[in-house]
Chains A and B, each alone.
Chain A
C-alpha cells in the first residue's frame, strides 16, 4: 500500500486531519487500532463549549472555544444540537468569581446574557429554587460519534481512506527519514506495510505509545473523567455551575438523555475507562445542589474516558494542566517526516486539525488553503428525502434520523420506500430502523455490533441492548455480515460492553433491567452454554 500521509488515531482530531488533508488534495490513510471514536471522542460529556468554562483561567482556550463553537454550529450542524447553556451560581458559590467571570466573557467575546433566577427557573424547571444568578451562553450539545463519522463520510468523498482495527506495529525509516508504517489487523492478524512520506500521530491518550515506536518520548498523562448518563432529558439546556471549574458541574442534554460529569483524576492506563461506584456516588452528591431530585432520576449507565493531557511541565496535572494543544515535530528527536499532536479538547478539534494540516502541507511543499471552517461536512438533507422519511419514521424521530444518517439519508429512505419490511424498528428505544442498521453494518469499518452501535445508537437507550442486541446480530447474520455460528459471541460481547456501564450503578430500574437481560439471555437462551459450545 502507498499513500502520502498516514494519520494514526480515529478520534475527532485524527479524522479532522484526514478530512482537512484530503480536502487539500493530499492522499491520506487513517489507521485506528479499535473502532472510530472508540477513545475519548465518545467518552466525554458531549459539550461544545462556548468557552465560558475557561474564560477566567485560560482566556486563550476560551477564545478558541467561542470561535470554534461558532464555526462548528454551522459546518457540523448534523452533529450539533443548539441547546444553548446556562451558567448558574448558587448562594454558596463565590460572588467575586461571578464578577471576574462576567468581565472575562466580555473580554474574550462570549455572549453571556444575564437572566433573573425566576427566568432561569422558568427555562429549566427542574433546577433548584436556590438560584443566586444565571447567564445564558451559546453552549451546544455535540455528538462525538456523529462528528467523527461525518468527518469520515466527508473525507472519503475527497479520497480519504480509513482502516479500523488496524494497529501500528512499527514506524519504518531510512536514514532518519520516515518511509512507512507497519500495521496489523487486530481481528484477522493480517499485516501490511503502508509506504508514506509523512506520519501524523493523533492517537489521543495513546500518543505516547505511538511516539515510542519512533523512538521518541511524548509524556502524556491520561486523566480520567467519569460521566453519568440519565435516561431522560431533565434539562433542555446545558447547565454549568458558575464557579471555578471542578468535578460534577456540567449537565448536557443529548437526544432523549442527559449526561452529567465529570471528574478529573490520574489514570493508570489510557483505557482505564471502567467507572467505580464510589466515583458515581461522589458525582451525584456534587450534582444534587443544582438538581435536587438527582437521586430519583434513573441512571442508564456510567462511563469514563481519559483526557490526553500534555504539559511540558511534568508537574502539572489534572485541572491545573493546560487544555491547549501542542504539535511536536519529531525532527527535534532526529526523525524527519513525523509529528505528534496532543492535548486540546473536542471543541477545538477542527482548529487542531487545521494547524496540523498546515504543518504537513508546509513540510510536503503543498500550497492549499484550509476549507474546513467554511465547507459543511454533510450536504443539506434534501427536502424530498425528509418528506419521504416522515412517512416511515416515527414522527418525533425524523430529525434524529436525518442527523445520525448524515450523507446516507437518501439511500436509507429509498430502501424503506421499496421494502416495507425494512421500516421495522430494530432499536425501539432510540428508534433505529432495520434499513439504517443494514446500511451502517455494510460499511467496511463495521466489524462488530459495537461498531454499528456507535454509528446508529442501537442499544444506547433504556433497554441497553436487552432486545436490540439479539436483533442486531440476527440482522447481521441474515445479511451474511457475520457467520451464524458466532452469533452468540457477538451478542455476548455487545451485552458485556453495556454491562461495564451498568455494573457500577446496580440499583433502581437499572438493576431490574439487568435481571431482565440476564433472564432473557442466561435463563431462556443459555448464552453461556452457546458460547461454550462455540469455543469447543
Chain B
C-alpha cells in the first residue's frame, strides 16, 4: 500500500493548490475528488479582495487586507502568506505557459455579462480589461444562438460606469452550428481551437473591427490553458481581446483547472476521482487514515496529514439539515446562528454580508480545526477554502483568493 504524506480531500482550487504546494516540497500527495469544485462556475480569476464587509471598495487588495476583522481567513494566515501565495501562483502560471497578470497593488476591473464591472486581482491575460479603457474603438462580440450571453447588456451597462463610458459597437458572429441543441461557450471555445473556426471568426470580425480596437468577447478564446487562440486572432486583426465574466459554464475556470491538474500530475500527485470519503480514523488528536466508502466496499488510506478542501455547503463539505449542521468526515463543530431565520437577511443581495455565507469551521492560525474555546481538535488536519468560517466571499469577491491562500498555507504546513 502506498504511504501518503498528505491526503487532500477535494479537488477545487483550494485542494489543488494545497496538493501542488505540498508535492512541490517533496511530499507524497494523494488528492481525492468527488466532483470538480467550482472553478467551472465562478471562473478562473483570482478575486482576492474587492469590498470590505461594510461594502466599501478597497483601494488596493493589499490595503484592504489591513482592514479585515481578526477572524478573517486572511488574517489567520497573515499577510506574509498572502503575498507569498500570490507570487507562488503567478510563478506557477508563468512556468506552465499560461501567465496571469495582476497583483496586490491594484484592482483589476472586469466587465461582466450583466454589464457591471467586478473587482478582481489575478486574471488570465485574456481578461485584462485595460484595452477597453485605452482603445479608441470597443466592439462587443456575441455569437448567434449562444445561450446566456447578450452583447447589448454589456455595451449598455458598461456605458454607465465611470472609466468605461464610451461608445460600444455590437457584432454578432455566426459560427454556423446546425441542429437544435443549445450552444454554450465551451462549444464555441472548442470551435475556436480549430484553424477553421479561427478563420471564420476573423473573417466576420474583420468587417467591423478596426486595427487598435478592443474586443469584448465571452470566454471562448480556446478551451485549453494556452494563449494560442488569442494570439492568433489578435495578430490577424491587430486588436486586443478582453474576455468577459459570464454565467456558468466558465471556460476560464476550466482552463485554470486543466493547468492545475497538469501541474499536479507533473509533481507526482496521485489523483483519485469519484472517491467519496466517508469518515476518518483517529488516534487521540491525530488522524491516521481516511476511509472511502464507494458502492462496493470501504477502503482505508493512511496519511500523516489530511487537508479538508470539501467546499462548504455547495461542495457538500458542510451539511445543513432542518434541525442541525455538521461536517460529515471528521464531525468537526460548525458555528452557525442559533435561529434558522438569522441565517439569511431580508434581501439576498443587500450590499451586506449574509450570515449563511460566513458559516464554516473555526480554525487556529495554522488552519487546524478548533473548538469554541479555541483549542485544537485534530493536530494534523488543515481546513481550507469555503469550509472556513468568517468571510463572505460573494460580498468581498474573495472566493478564489481565500482558496488559493489557505490552500498554499496548508500545503506549506505538511
Contacts and interface: CB of A to CB of B under 8 A. Distances in A.
Interface of A: 276-277, 281, 284, 295, 392, 420-421, 423-425, 467, 470-471, 473-474, 477-478, 483-485, 487-488, 491-492, 495-496, 499, 502-508, 511-512, 514-534
B116 A530 contact: yes
Contact of B247 (A470, A477, A495): A470
Interface stretch (B11-19, B150-158, B287-295): B150-158
Given A420-B180, A485-B157, A530-B157, A523 B397 contact: yes
Interface residues of B, number: 61
Interface string B286-330: 000000000000000000000000001110000011100000000
Contact of A488 (B50, B157, B393): B157
B313 A529 contact: no
B129 interface: no
Contact of A519 (B41, B246, B339): B41
Contact of B349 (A512, A522, A534): A522
Interface in B40-73: 41-43, 47, 50, 55
A271 to B, nearest CB: 15
Contacts of B153: 473-474, 477, 484, 487
B341 A503 contact: yes
B394 interface: yes
A521 B115 CA distance: 12
B349 A514 contact: no
Interface in B179-219: 180, 182
Interface in B244-289: 245-248, 250
Contacts of B351: 528, 532
Given A474-B148, A484-B153, A511-B320, 18 more contacts: A277-B340, A424-B145, A470-B113, A471-B147, A474-B153, A496-B347, A503-B346, A508-B322, A512-B313, A515-B313, A518-B348, A520-B247, A522-B394, A525-B112, A525-B116, A527-B349, A529-B118, A530-B116
Interface string B353-370: 010110000000000000
B115 A495 contact: no
A470 B114 contact: yes
A527 B320 contact: no
A526 B248 contact: no
Contact of B320 (A277, A487, A508, A531): A508
Contact of B180 (A423, A504, A505): A423
Nearest to A527: B349
B99 interface: no
Nearest to A426: B147
B47 A521 contact: no
13 contacts: A281-B322, A420-B180, A424-B147, A484-B155, A485-B160, A499-B344, A507-B320, A515-B314, A518-B354, A526-B116, A526-B118, A527-B116, A530-B115
B148 A487 contact: no
B344 A514 contact: yes
Nearest to A488: B114
A491 B356 contact: no
Contact of B43 (A295, A492, A512, A524): A524
Nearest to B344: A503
A502 B112 CA distance: 26
A485 B114 CA distance: 9
A491 B349 CA distance: 11
Contact of A533 (B55, B161, B247): B161
B395 interface: yes
B38 interface: yes
A508 B161 CA distance: 38
B394 A518 contact: yes
A530 B160 CA distance: 10
A499 B349 CA distance: 10
B117 interface: yes
Nearest to B393: A523
Interface string B150-180: 1011011101110000000000000000001
